[in-house]
Chain A
């Protein structure tokens, strides 16, 4: 079993839809939870990070962590074609600036 599992894709939604992306992790020692966005043939870029359980909102994006169920979610409201990319969840023991363990990523396509 991989340490971080991510829902398989790809995912295709119409513009304006609410998107829910999910990951689970196995090691309860993980404390930091990140979402990265990766466009084709580019490096990942950090969208959001959260420490421990709870919600964090940034514009159209909301990250949610439930440590009791080891579940990580990213919600995208009013999705746009420019949101089309691969979304990677990542975890860390000691900080958002430390060694990361990634899920395999899910490719999202937002249709105009």
Chain B
């Protein structure tokens, strides 16, 4: 069990550029989540996949944000035309379904985005 892996860990980008983050969940987990966390706040839910299907998206996920999980394994979160307000830590998490060994949510170390 190597845990949830996120890359890159840190990204500094200029306003208006596109950025993409990758998440590799725990191998046997079929649920994958993206959260965003700003300083002094708890994580806020962005979106959730079960296998390759994106089942829920938050209102926080504007049309500049897109997430994919093409083969039900790794996932990418792309932010287009970044704005300074997008500066945050983007957390990926995974879990199994009820009855499996993954019945709680495990978080990755996060990907820090700074938009300058």
Contact = CB atoms under 8 A, between A and B. Distances in A.
B107 interface: yes
Interface stretch (B12-20, B63-71, B74-82, B96-104): B96-104
Interface residues of B, number: 27
B17 to A, nearest CB: 23
Contacts of B86: none
Nearest to A107: B40
A95 B45 CA distance: 15
Given A42-B110, A45-B107, A99 B33 contact: yes
Given A95-B98, A97-B102, A99-B48, A43 B40 contact: no
Nearest to B97: A97
Nearest to B33: A99
Nearest to B6: A43
Chain A interface size range: 20 to 34
B42 A97 contact: no
Contacts of B91: 43-44
A11 to B, nearest CB: 14
B44 A102 contact: yes
A52 B98 CA distance: 17
Q: Is the interface of B mostly helix, strand, loop or mixed?
A: loop
B41 A105 contact: yes
A19 to B, nearest CB: 19
A100 interface: yes
A45 B106 CA distance: 7
A97 B104 contact: yes
B98 A44 contact: no
12 contacts: A42-B110, A46-B105, A95-B98, A96-B104, A96-B105, A97-B95, A97-B96, A99-B33, A99-B45, A99-B48, A104-B41, A105-B40
Interface of A: 4, 6, 34, 36, 41-46, 49, 88, 90, 95-105
Interface of B: 4, 31, 33, 40-45, 48, 56, 91, 93, 95-98, 102-110, 112
